[in-house]
């Protein structure tokens, strides 16, 4: 099965390519490249020229990702990993019909395949690719610290020592954890002349701790930065402290209480439940409760939300989005009033508006779709003692099972404290849209948790079942 | 094996396992390589338009090297053997740090296996696949409340070449196929979604009854529009086979993974041979279940997959193992190490996990419940295995009053403590079903099957009412 590439006889799994359709422009390339056989590698700029001659619109997206990580198990190094992954995503539109293909190496075969897909796919008049000139990215911000390339595993081994330093003091088991550091390059070409190069870097660290006992307690903490500059000691210390403080937890029965969600808990809850409602694709398809409500007050008047792909030091800051549109800062909620939604080129065409630069592409193997960049939650900064009153929750279990359309949720807590005392098991129930109308205040502890950047938030009158 | 001709197997790959033999020139305690080539074809209908049709292939190699600890290198640049060797040596150097991991040797195995499929998806014209989705989608047109639909079809072929320095060489081919649908319904400003899916390991013959799937998703969304708030508190609950599967996977399965045991992150530590569930509870993990989504012949370490009884008549019989965990704990039973792809290190995972059917009928289960909740369909779950606290959400809930199924409630979640809830299972149904899903652990998703019959137990129910 796993054979040498003696000849190009790869059968397509789905499509019949037996037709001898000759690509326009192929002969010319053959002449200049001396024997341009169908399995010869193409470069992005050559491929986009070839595609331009055979379709109405075309796009090539290339990414290469280098990542390293050190894994920890029970306080010991368990693994060192180094990974390299690269590939191309090709998108073509002909007669308003789209084809998409991904591959690790770009061959002439792939060009033929993607054109064939576009022929069988179905027409949608709103399909198009961004039209920009390449000066557009001149002032855009890269989310890249070149220093991350120089981080050695030996440096990271020292950071692991810092991470684990306080576990002994707190007498907890550093059960699993790790430090990872990575950098990526993205290139995009399209037939309208768009060409962009963007680089990014990231460093992540997490630790899960267990405090033994008749009923064990667990702690979890992580942090992320674009540079290798995390406070590893503090991450370990926080995870250890949470486990220690959560021992001897008690049941609290059913009650309605003031609730403080720490940044990680806010992120876990809102990532799945709130963000999809701002997605223009969901709005246009009748899948969002925020449809038709721009200009209305939908949340507490002290809540602001912006999506900002240009944010300095934002984890999801980039020069351009997944289809080459320049990233922007978009007001979504202003003093509780709904101001807009997140758009890519397709949904912008459909809605007759400009793209907000929110075409998200996690990998070369995925079609771009609408998604957040840095989803920034702000409000009147808190000077209230958020830590001391009511139920304070650091993390959630099962937040991904909440209802992304209605906003209804019913989730289990991890590291929850009622008036400072650890809580054994507590289900939080409610509705996200109602919850965001009960905001009492914000902390000063701003953290980025995946795309969400948020402080702690205090809510009034939330149902807890224990 | 490499280079063998087979007329019905006309795929060729840009991979040369011969070149990679250089990796085995490196002197190390243990080395294995996994070469994977996969192709995926998908069609998505959004509101009736087949706009998103995609095709892709990924090729890459992952190499593990063991010294004191593990080094793991992976690359999609499979022909750049010089670069690959450099990365392997770099990871090997760091692997010389740390405490020596126990890892027992195994006898060499040579084999070549492939999924049985009656209808190769490659032989089905793309137009026919699109037509199948359109026919299913059209069935939602009979429901006035339906405002938006998505139907996704995907077939994949994965070729895996595994080789280790002990002489094991295994070539496997897996075909997986699936359909996911989501149907959105609206009424008086309220929106609800109904989701259904089907799939398995095999060919296009797995795709059937797609119109029924569409109708069920539509009806589910519409039912939810009128569902009331769920109650909160501790209740007698009855779970349908989908939820039994998710429950047994989340609440028990993860805690039985031996890596969690070794890390001190499982409530099942030190409980082998103990009674942890009621007598009527027997639980298996079985990768050999034919056609199932979690099917495999060999795991990601080249160990043959086998049926494992985790709980037998309430007694905890064993943990699930990789080669490393079975060595460290000095127990038999590797064969549950799985990786999402060539770029992931294998970790202990479940395959198809299910609770064995019992004797009770559904009617018997509910007839003596004065006040309880019948939970149906899964929206997923999560567990903290160290504390044994789990949560999962049901798609639908129905109140049980005076032995009868009454009004429907929505967005109902259930949580509990594994050791308590397993002992509280007092009835196990006589029906059985396994459903497809993906399980996430260590940032890796692998296809799994979860199943069982209806069961009855006690749990904390959290609703919005």
If asked whether residues B457 and B412 sit together in one domain, one would say yes
* The pLDDT of residue A253: 85
Across the range A305-310, mean pLDDT stands at 97
Tens digits of residue pLDDT in A193-211? 899 999 999 999 999 999 9
Q: Residue A4: pLDDT above 90?
A: no
Cβ separation A398–B72 shorter than 8 A: no
Q: Indicate which of B19, B55, B373 best probes the interface with A, i.e. most A CBs within 10 Å of its own CB.
A: B55
Residue B180 lies in a domain: yes
Tens digits of residue pLDDT in A277-295? 999 999 999 999 999 999 9
CA distances from B144 to A81, A395, B218 (A): 53, 40, 10
If asked whether residues B328 and B420 sit together in one domain, one would say yes
* The pLDDT of residue A387: 56
Q: Residue A1: pLDDT above 50?
A: no
If asked whether residues B220 and B301 sit together in one domain, one would say no
Tens digits of residue pLDDT in A238-279? 999 999 999 999 988 888 899 999 999 999 999 989 999 999
Q: Residue B145: pLDDT above 60?
A: yes
The verdict on A124 touching B (C-beta cutoff 8 Å) is: yes
Tens digits of residue pLDDT in A90-117? 999 999 999 999 999 888 889 999 999 9
Tens digits of residue pLDDT in B71-94? 999 999 988 899 999 999 999 999
Across the range B418-424, mean pLDDT stands at 93
Tens digits of residue pLDDT in A416-437? 999 999 998 888 988 999 999 9
Strand partners, A93: A57, A98
The verdict on B72 touching A (C-beta cutoff 8 Å) is: yes
Q: Compute CA A442 distance to the chain's CA centroid, rounded to the nearest angstrom.
A: 24
* The pLDDT of residue A368: 96
Chain A residue closest in CA terms to B189: A289
* The pLDDT of residue A26: 46
CA distance A163 to B427: 47
- Chain B hits for A410, Cβ within 8 Å: 230, 393, 411-413, 462-464
- Listed by number, the residues of chain B in 226-265 with a beta carbon closer than 8 Å to a beta carbon of chain A are 230, 232-233, 259, 262-265
Phi/psi for B430 (5° steps) reads -100, 10
Residue B10 lies in a domain: no
If asked whether residues B237 and B196 sit together in one domain, one would say no
- Chain A hits for B91, Cβ within 8 Å: 80-82
- % pLDDT > 70, chain A: 89
Across the range B237-253, mean pLDDT stands at 94
Identify the architecture of domain A139-184+201-245 in CATH. Answer: 2-Layer Sandwich (3.30)
- Chain A hits for B4, Cβ within 8 Å: 3
Q: Which of B172, B199, B225 is the last residue of a domain?
A: B225
If asked whether residues B235 and B218 sit together in one domain, one would say no
Cβ separation B95–A9 shorter than 8 A: no
Q: Residue B323: pLDDT above 90?
A: yes
- Tokens 């721009």 belong to A294
* The pLDDT of residue A458: 93
Q: Residue A452: pLDDT above 50?
A: yes
CB A57 within 8 A of CB A191: yes
- Residue A382 binned pLDDT confidence (cut-offs 50, 70, 90): low
Cβ separation B58–A87 shorter than 8 A: yes
The verdict on B158 touching A (C-beta cutoff 8 Å) is: no
Cβ separation A78–B70 shorter than 8 A: yes
Query: Which residue did the predictor score with more confidence, B462 or B96?
Result: B96
Across the range B244-265, mean pLDDT stands at 93
Provide the domain limits for residue B88: 19-225
Residue B42 lies in a domain: yes
User: Among A3, A397, A465, whose Cβ lies nearest the Cβ of B460?
Assistant: A465
Beta carbon pairs, A and B, within 8 Å: 314
Q: Which stretches of A212-351 are assigned E, i.e. beta strand?
A: 217-225, 255-261, 303-308, 329-334, 337-338
If asked whether residues B210 and B240 sit together in one domain, one would say no
Chain A residue closest in CA terms to B62: A83
* The pLDDT of residue A45: 85
Q: Which stretches of B15-68 are assigned E, i.e. beta strand?
A: 30-46, 49-66
Cβ separation B462–A465 shorter than 8 A: yes
Q: Which of B225, B250, B275 is the last residue of a domain?
A: B225
If asked whether residues B109 and B194 sit together in one domain, one would say yes
CB hemisphere CA count around B123 (13 angstroms): 10
Averaged pLDDT score across all residues of chain B: 92
Q: Compute CA A10 distance to the chain's CA centroid, rounded to the nearest angstrom.
A: 34
- % pLDDT > 90, chain B: 82
CA distances from B127 to A119, B124, B359 (A): 11, 8, 46
Residue B431 lies in a domain: yes
Phi/psi for A244 (5° steps) reads -60, -45
Cβ separation A6–B12 shorter than 8 A: yes
- Listed by number, the residues of chain A in 63-82 with a beta carbon closer than 8 Å to a beta carbon of chain B are 70, 73-74, 76-82
- Chain B hits for A3, Cβ within 8 Å: 2-4, 12-13
- This complex has an ipTM of 0.91
- Listed by number, the residues of chain A in 264-303 with a beta carbon closer than 8 Å to a beta carbon of chain B are 285-289
Residue B2 lies in a domain: no
Cβ separation A122–B50 shorter than 8 A: yes
Identify the architecture of domain A26-70+83-135 in CATH. Answer: 2-Layer Sandwich (3.30)
Tens digits of residue pLDDT in A127-162? 999 997 656 787 777 889 999 999 999 999 999 999
Tens digits of residue pLDDT in B55-69? 999 999 999 999 999
Q: Residue A38: pLDDT above 80?
A: no
Cβ separation A120–B130 shorter than 8 A: yes
Across the range A332-353, mean pLDDT stands at 97
If asked whether residues B240 and B198 sit together in one domain, one would say no
Across the range B331-354, mean pLDDT stands at 96
């Amino acid at each position: 099965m796993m054979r040498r590439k003696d000849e190009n006889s790869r059968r397509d799994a789905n499509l019949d390519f037996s037709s001898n359709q000759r690509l326009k422009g192929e002969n010319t390339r053959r002449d200049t490249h001396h024997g341009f056989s169908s399995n010869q590698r193409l470069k992005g700029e050559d491929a986009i020229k070839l595609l331009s001659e055979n379709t109405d619109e075309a796009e090539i997206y290339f990414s290469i990702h280098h990542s390293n990580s050190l894994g920890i198990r029970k306080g010991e190094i368990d693994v060192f990993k180094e990974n390299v992954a690269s590939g191309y995503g090709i998108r073509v539109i002909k007669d308003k019909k789209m084809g998409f293909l991904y591959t690790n190496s770009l061959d002439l075969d792939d060009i033929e395949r993607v054109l064939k897909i576009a022929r069988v796919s179905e027409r949608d008049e709103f399909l198009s690719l961004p039209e920009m000139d390449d000066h557009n990215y001149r002032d855009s911000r890269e989310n890249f610290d070149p220093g991350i390339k120089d981080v050695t595993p030996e440096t990271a081994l020292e950071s692991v020592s810092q991470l684990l330093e306080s576990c002994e003091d707190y007498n907890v088991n550093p059960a699993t954890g790790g430090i990872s550091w990575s950098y990526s390059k993205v290139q995009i070409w399209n037939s309208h002349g768009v060409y962009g190069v963007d680089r990014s870097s990231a460093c992540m660290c997490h630790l899960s701790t267990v405090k033994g006992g008749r009923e064990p307690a667990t702690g979890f903490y992580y942090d992320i930065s674009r540079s290798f500059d995390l406070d590893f000691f503090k991450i370990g210390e926080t995870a250890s402290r949470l486990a220690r403080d959560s021992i001897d937890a008690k049941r609290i029965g059913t009650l309605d209480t003031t609730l403080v969600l720490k940044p990680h808990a806010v992120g876990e809850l809102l990532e799945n439940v709130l963000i999809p409602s701002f997605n223009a694709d969901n709005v246009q398809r009748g899948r969002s409760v925020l449809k038709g409500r721009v200009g209305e007050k939908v949340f507490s008047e002290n809540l602001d939300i912006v999506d900002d792909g240009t944010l300095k030091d934002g984890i999801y800051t980039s020069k351009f989005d997944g289809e080459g549109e320049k990233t922007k800062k978009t007001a979504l909620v202003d003093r509780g009033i709904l101001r807009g939604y997140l758009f890519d080129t397709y949904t912008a065409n459909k809605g007759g508006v400009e793209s907000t630069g929110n075409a998200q592409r996690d990998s070369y193997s995925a079609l771009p779709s609408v998604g957040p960049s840095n989803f920034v939650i702000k409000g009147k900064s808190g000077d209230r003692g958020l830590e001391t009153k009511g139920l304070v929750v650091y993390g959630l279990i099962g937040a991904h099972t909440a209802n992304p359309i209605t906003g209804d949720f019913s989730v289990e807590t991890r590291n929850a404290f009622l008036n400072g005392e650890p809580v054994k098991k507590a289900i939080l129930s409610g509705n996200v849209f109602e919850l965001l109308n009960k905001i009492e205040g914000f902390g000063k502890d701003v953290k980025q948790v995946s795309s969400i950047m948020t402080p702690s938030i205090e809510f009034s009158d939330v149902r807890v079942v224990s | 094996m490499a280079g063998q001709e087979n007329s019905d197997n006309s795929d060729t790959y840009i991979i040369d396992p011969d070149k990679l033999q250089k990796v085995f020139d490196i002197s190390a305690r243990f080395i294995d390589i996994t070469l994977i080539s996969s192709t995926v074809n998908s069609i998505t209908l959004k509101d009736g338009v087949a706009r998103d049709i995609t095709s892709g292939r990924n090729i890459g190699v992952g190499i593990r090297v063991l010294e004191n600890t593990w080094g793991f290198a992976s690359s999609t640049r499979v022909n750049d053997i010089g670069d690959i060797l450099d990365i392997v040596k770099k990871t090997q150097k760091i692997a010389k740090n740390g405490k020596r991991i126990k890892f027992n040797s195994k006898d060499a195995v040579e084999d070549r296996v492939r999924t049985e499929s009656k209808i190769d998806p490659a032989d089905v014209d793309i137009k026919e696949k699109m037509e199948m989705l359109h026919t299913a989608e059209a069935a939602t047109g009979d429901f006035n409340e339906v405002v938006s639909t998505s139907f996704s079809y995907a077939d994949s072929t994965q070729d895996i070449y595994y080789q280790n320095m002990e002489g094991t060489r295994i070539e496997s081919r897996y075909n997986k196929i699936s359909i996911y649908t989501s149907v959105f319904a609206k009424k008086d400003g309220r929106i609800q979604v109904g989701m259904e899916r089907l799939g398995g390991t095999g060919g296009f013959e797995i795709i059937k009854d797609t119109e029924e799937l569409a109708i069920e998703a539509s009806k589910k969304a519409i039912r939810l529009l009128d569902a009331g708030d769920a109650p909160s508190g501790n209740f007698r609950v009855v779970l349908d086979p989908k939820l039994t599967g998710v429950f047994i996977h989340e609440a028990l399965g993860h805690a039985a993974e031996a890596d969690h045991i070794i890390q001190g992150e499982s409530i099942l530590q030190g409980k082998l041979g103990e009674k942890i569930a009621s007598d009527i509870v027997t639980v298996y993990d079985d990768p050999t279940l034919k056609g199932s989504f979690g099917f495999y012949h060999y795991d990601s370490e080249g160990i043959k997959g086998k049926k494992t009884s985790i709980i037998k008549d309430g007694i905890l019989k064993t943990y699930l193992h990789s080669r490393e965990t079975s060595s460290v704990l000095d127990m038999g039973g590797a064969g549950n190490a799985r990786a999402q792809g060539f770029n992931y290190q294998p970790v202990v995972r479940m395959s198809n996990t299910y609770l064995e059917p019992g004797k009770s009928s559904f009617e018997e289960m509910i007839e003596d419940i004065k006040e309880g909740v019948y939970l149906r369909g899964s929206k997923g779950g999560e567990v903290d295995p160290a504390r044994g606290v789990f949560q999962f959400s049901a798609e639908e809930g129905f109140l049980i009053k005076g032995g009868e199924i009454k009004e429907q409630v929505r967005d109902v979640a259930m949580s509990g403590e594994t050791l308590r809830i397993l002992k509280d299972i007092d009835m196990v149904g006589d029906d059985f079903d396994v459903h497809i899903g993906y399980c996430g652990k260590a940032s890796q998703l692998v296809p799994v099957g979860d199943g069982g019959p209806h069961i009855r137990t006690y749990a904390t129910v959290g609703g919005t009412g």
